[in-house]
């Protein structure tokens, strides 16, 4: 019965080929391994043969599809014999290979044969040298790994791309495999992604838009390109082409594309690494990357790339309107420095009419307004007023810069020089002070050591003092290095005025404030608390523009007509405010029961002092008595025919 069960089990023939084995020629090819093992099985009379194959898989990794299927069949009790060409085909990790050959195969009663090594598990003497073969196989893999890693480092440090394929948006140059060319079809999608990001759309939102528009995702697009090359007879990878999900874009995919400096024309090497060939590859920190600038044609310019990073870092939440506020992350309180919150909503008046509100206010004030220890105070400003002010600032500054180029550049440079001189003066004082203290500490440490060497100071005391001095010296040296770096940056000639001019010339229409315009022009907006000392609500708002900061455009003196129009507007504001106060007072009297809506008001005549009733709350005279010059004229109500009388 046992023999019949054994005969019903399969004879497994396992073949593996890695890229490193290609150097050995065709002797290790999958086809030759199959012929070799089939011939041996036939000589031994083994039947029911099943092949398990891993093509292009490393021996240092046991996560191979063919091997995992073989192990599953062994654990299910389906395998009677297992044949391979040699032990290195099983694997090159001597610990794991030894586990399978010495423990697992015996546990499940599998007859194992490594033909070329003359190893047969039924013959105990033949397996005595197997551990040494496994160690030699791993040594070979370790040696190959060192050679590949060394070549990888040399190539990466030479500024050549270390990735096997070009990233989405590029393709390899047919004449130089280490040079990338722009793939215009994919590059158009990349440019659009960056444009949408600059407009304020997040990665998740962009991915939904691309999916809805049926834009091919990078994985599908690249696999399709490889399939075309393979069809044309060119060598290509073996990526699977999933035809069922060609338009599946994900927020993480878009986010990764936006973070790649390669789109500025740079080569970025050593994004990931691993300590040993046994370990999994891990991502390196950005400061450990090696970046070579301007090695291939750029798809997006550096300004757009930097702007996309800035916008991407700002969290934008949509409210019930479904639209994120474009000023998110740009508006700050002038008093506490906190960000200002945007408040939108719908409200209902007493007469049932609805109206909307859209304002900004200090987040510190909003979060602590109901606490006993309220912090900061209201800085409320309407989004409409903010939008108009920002648009006017951008329009006037850009127009002035373009029309008065030389004067604008000189003004920006003069402002920059004043700021630099103040900052440089302070930094120079700090640097000089730090250098002086470091020199003093060097002298103190030297004298301390001499005192200790002469036996005048205990060892414990010496160690304590020297440790303190060295710690202070290290801290000073770090601070000095940072200050010196800042000082060097101040000395660099950066023409910010030209950058702003180039930005201003990009736009020809300043009639409407758009999200890209805000993100490209505005650095930050600082809102001050309103001032009511003059009887009017006046609020200062500082707008800092990219490259030039807070810039005051020289304005011409207002004309008499403009002054008259402004005075007219001021008088209207006063009248509107008085009307508001009257309405507020009326509501208060209604609440207190002094006034019943719909009934005449009980008033006192300012002429004769008699009480009278009127439907107008602001009536001052009974029978509407008025003064005309030196005489009093009284108007008789309309139910009489007398009219005016003296």
User: What digits encode the pLDDT tens for the residues 58-79?
Assistant: 877 888 999 999 999 999 999 9
SS3 category, 643: coil
What residues have CB less than 8 Å from 104, skipping those under 6 apart?
71, 74, 110
What pLDDT does residue 413 have? 65
Q: Per mean pLDDT, which range of 4-18, 244-258, 388-402, 537-551 is the poorest? A: 4-18
pLDDT tier for residue 13 given thresholds of 50, 70 and 90 = very high
**What is the per-residue pLDDT across 149-187, written as a single tens digit (0 to 9) for each?**
667 677 778 888 888 788 999 998 888 888 899 999 999
Residue appearing with tokens 């420095």: 337
Q: Is 305 within 8 Å of 257 (Cβ atoms)?
A: no
Query: How much is the average pLDDT of 392-420?
Result: 77
Segment (H or E) for 461: helix 459-491
- What is the per-residue pLDDT across 338-389, written as a single tens digit (0 to 9) for each? 888 888 877 777 667 777 788 899 988 888 887 777 788 888 898 888 999 9
Q: Which residue has the tokens 């719909």?
A: 598
What is the band of 10 on the pLDDT scale with cuts at 50, 70, 90?
very high
**Cα(314)–Cα(133) distance, rounded to whole angstroms?**
58
Give pLDDT, residue 638: 41
Query: CA–CA separation, 110 vs 122, rounded Å?
Result: 10
Whether pLDDT at 410 is above 80: no
pLDDT at 446: 77
Q: Using pLDDT thresholds of 50, 70 and 90, give the confidence band for residue 238.
A: very low
Contacts of 157 (CB under 8 A, 6+ apart): 269, 290
Residue 631 has pLDDT above 50, yes or no: no
User: What does residue 488 show for φ and ψ, rounded to 5 degrees?
Assistant: -65, -35
Nearest Cα neighbor of 186 from 230, 223, 236 is: 223
User: What residue spans of 158-234 are helical by DSSP H?
Assistant: 184-198, 203-212, 218-231
Average pLDDT (48-53) is: 92
Do residues 325 and 383 touch, judged by C-beta distance below 8 A? yes
- Asked if 273 and 184 touch (Cβ cutoff 8 Å), the reply is no
| Cβ within 8 Å of residue 392, ≥6 positions away | none
Going by C-alpha positions, the residue among 101, 156, 516, 511 that lies closest to residue 304 is 516
- Split at pLDDT 50, 70, 90, the class of 219 is confident
Beta-strand relationship, 49-55 and 10-17: parallel
- 178-207: buried (b, 16+ CB within 10 Å) or exposed (e) per residue? ebbbbbeebbebbeebbebbbbbbbbebbb
Six-digit token string for 81: 């014999």
* Residue found under tokens 């994985």: 219
Q: Bigger pLDDT: 640 or 611?
A: 611
Q: What is the mean pLDDT of residues 92-112?
A: 85
> How high is the mean pLDDT of the chain?
79
Tell me how far CA of residue 259 lies from CA of 159, 194, 520, 547, in angstroms: 20, 10, 18, 23
pLDDT reported for residue 237: 46
Longest alpha-carbon distance in the chain: 143
Q: Are 218 and 185 in contact (CB under 8 A)?
A: no
Is residue 6 over pLDDT 70?
no
Dist. CA 142–CA 13, nearest whole Å: 26
Q: Which of 4-8, 144-148, 240-244, 496-500 has the highest mean pLDDT?
A: 496-500
Pick the range with the lowest mean pLDDT from 417-421, 460-464, 504-508, 532-536.
417-421
Q: How far, in Å, are 5, 11, 250, 335 from residue 8 at the CA level?
A: 5, 10, 49, 86
Give which of 209, 194, 205 is closest to 519, Cα–Cα.
194
Q: Is the model's pLDDT at 221 over the cut of 70? A: yes
- Residue 223: CB atoms within 10 Å: 21
What is the pLDDT averaged over residues 390-395?
90
Model pLDDT, residue 83: 94
- The predicted model gives 211-227 an average pLDDT of 87
Q: pLDDT tier at 190 (50, 70, 90 boundaries)?
A: very high
Higher pLDDT, 450 or 538: 538
Distance CA 132, CA 136 (A): 6
The residue with tokens 């990735």 is: 163
From residue 457, give the alpha-carbon distance in Å to each of 63, 181, 448, 461, 616. Answer: 64, 71, 8, 7, 98
In what side-by-side order are the strands of the sheet with 10-17?
49-55, 10-17, 79-84, 111-114, 119-120
The answer to whether residue 644 scores a pLDDT higher than 50 is no
Residue 558 CB neighbour total at 10 angstroms: 11
Residue 52's beta-bridge partner residues? 14
| DSSP β-bridge partners for residue 381 | 360
- pLDDT category, 207, cuts 50, 70, 90? very high
pLDDT band at residue 630 using 50, 70 and 90 as cut-offs: very low
Highest mean pLDDT among 57-71, 315-329, 462-476: 57-71
Whether 187 and 169 have beta carbons less than 8 Å apart is answered as yes
Q: How many residues does the chain have?
A: 646
643 contacts 636 by C-beta, under 8 angstroms:
yes
Contact 168, 186 (CB under 8 A): yes
Mention every residue, 6+ apart, whose C-beta is less than 8 A from residue 77: 9, 108
The backbone torsions φ and ψ at residue 253, rounded to the nearest 5 degrees and listed phi first, read -65, -45
Q: Select from 356, 415, 385 the least CA-distant residue to 554.
A: 415
Nearest by Cα to 247 from 282, 229, 221: 221
- HEC states along 88-141? HHHCCCHHHHHHHHHHHHHHCCCEEEECCCCEECCCHHHHCCHHHHHHHHHHHH
On the 0-12 / 13-18 / 19+ scale of CB atoms within 10 A, 7 is exposed
pLDDT band at 473 (very low <50, low <70, confident <90, very high): confident
Which residue carries 């910010």 as its tokens? Answer: 496
Residue 109 has pLDDT above 80, yes or no: yes
Strands 522-527 and 541-545, sheet pairing: antiparallel
The structure tokens listed for 44 are: 């031994």
Are 83 and 33 spatial neighbours (Cβ–Cβ below 8 Å)? no
Range with the poorest average pLDDT among 37-51, 431-445, 498-512: 431-445
On whether the CB atoms of residues 268 and 260 are closer than 8 A, the answer is: yes
Instruction: Give the pLDDT score at 277.
Output: 58
pLDDT tens-digit profile of 247-295? 889 989 999 999 999 999 998 888 887 766 566 777 888 888 888 888 8
Do residues 568 and 583 touch, judged by C-beta distance below 8 A?
no
Where does the pLDDT of residue 488 fall: very low under 50, low under 70, confident under 90, or very high at 90 and above? low
Cα distance from N-terminal residue to C-terminal residue, the chain: 140
pLDDT of residue 619 exceeding 50, the answer is yes
State residue 639's pLDDT score.
Answer: 42
């Amino acid at each position: 019965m046992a023999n019949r069960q054994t005969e019903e089990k399969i004879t497994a023939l396992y073949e593996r080929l890695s890229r490193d084995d290609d150097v050995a020629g065709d002797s290790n090819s999958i086809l030759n391994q199959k012929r070799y093992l089939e011939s041996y099985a036939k000589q031994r009379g083994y039947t029911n043969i099943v092949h398990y194959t891993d093509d292009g898989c490393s021996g240092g990794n046991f996560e191979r599809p063919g091997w995992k299927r073989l192990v599953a069949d062994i654990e299910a009790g389906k395998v009677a014999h297992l044949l391979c060409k040699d032990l290195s085909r099983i694997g090159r990790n001597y610990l794991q290979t030894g586990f399978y050959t010495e423990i697992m195969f015996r546990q499940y009663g599998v007859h194992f044969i490594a033909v070329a090594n003359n190893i047969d598990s039924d013959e105990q003497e033949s397996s005595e040298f197997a551990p040494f073969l496994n160690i030699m196989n791993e040594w070979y893999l370790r040696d190959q790994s060192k050679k590949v890693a060394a070549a990888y480092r040399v190539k990466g440090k030479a500024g050549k791309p270390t990735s096997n394929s070009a990233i989405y948006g590029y393709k390899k140059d047919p004449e130089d495999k280490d040079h990338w060319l722009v793939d215009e079809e994919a590059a158009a999608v990349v440019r659009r992604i960056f444009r949408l990001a600059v407009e304020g759309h997040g990665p998740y939102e962009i991915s939904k838009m691309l999916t809805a528009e049926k834009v091919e995702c990078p994985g599908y697009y690249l696999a399709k390109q490889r399939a075309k090359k393979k069809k044309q007879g060119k060598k290509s990878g073996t990526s699977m082409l999933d035809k069922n999900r060609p338009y599946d874009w994900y927020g993480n995919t878009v986010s990764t594309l936006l973070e790649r400096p390669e789109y500025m024309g740079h080569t970025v090497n050593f994004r990931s690494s691993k300590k040993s060939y046994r370990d999994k590859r891990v991502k390196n920190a950005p400061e450990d990357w090696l970046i070579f600038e301007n090695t291939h044609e750029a798809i997006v310019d550096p300004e757009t790339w930097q702007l996309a990073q800035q916008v991407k870092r700002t969290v934008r939440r949509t409210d019930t309107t479904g639209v994120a506020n474009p000023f998110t992350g740009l508006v700050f309180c002038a008093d506490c420095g906190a960000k200002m919150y945007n408040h939108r909503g719908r409200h209902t008046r007493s007469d049932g009419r609805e109206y909307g509100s859209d304002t900004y206010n200090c987040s510190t004030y909003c979060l602590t307004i109901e606490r006993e220890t309220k912090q900061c105070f209201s800085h409320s400003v309407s989004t409409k007023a903010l939008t108009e002010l920002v648009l006017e600032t951008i329009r006037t500054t850009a127009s002035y810069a373009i029309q008065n180029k030389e004067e604008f550049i000189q003004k920006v440079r003069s402002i920059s020089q004043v700021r630099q001189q103040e900052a440089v003066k302070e930094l120079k004082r700090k640097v000089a002070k730090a250098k002086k203290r470091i020199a003093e500490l060097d002298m103190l440490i030297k004298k301390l050591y001499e005192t200790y060497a002469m036996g005048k100071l205990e060892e414990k005391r010496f160690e304590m003092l020297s440790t303190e001095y060295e710690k202070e010296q290290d801290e000073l040296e770090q601070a000095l290095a940072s200050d010196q770096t800042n000082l060097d940056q101040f000395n660099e000639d950066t023409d910010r005025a030209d950058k702003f001019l180039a930005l201003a010339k990009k736009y020809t229409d300043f009639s409407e404030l758009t999200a890209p315009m805000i993100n490209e022009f505005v650095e930050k907006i600082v809102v001050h608390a309103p001032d009511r000392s003059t009887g009017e609500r006046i609020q200062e708002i500082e707008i800092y523009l990219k490259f030039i900061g807070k810039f005051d455009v020289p304005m011409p003196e207002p004309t008499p007509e403009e002054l008259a129009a402004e005075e007219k507007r001021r008088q209207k504001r006063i009248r509107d405010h008085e009307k508001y106060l009257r309405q507020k007072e009326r509501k208060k009297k209604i609440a207190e029961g002094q006034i019943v809506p719909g009934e005449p008001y009980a008033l006192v005549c300012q002429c004769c002092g008699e009480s009278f009733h009127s439907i107008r709350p602001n009536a001052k005279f009974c029978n509407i008595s008025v003064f005309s010059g030196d005489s009093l004229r009284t108007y008789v109500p309309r139910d009489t025919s007398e009219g005016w009388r003296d």
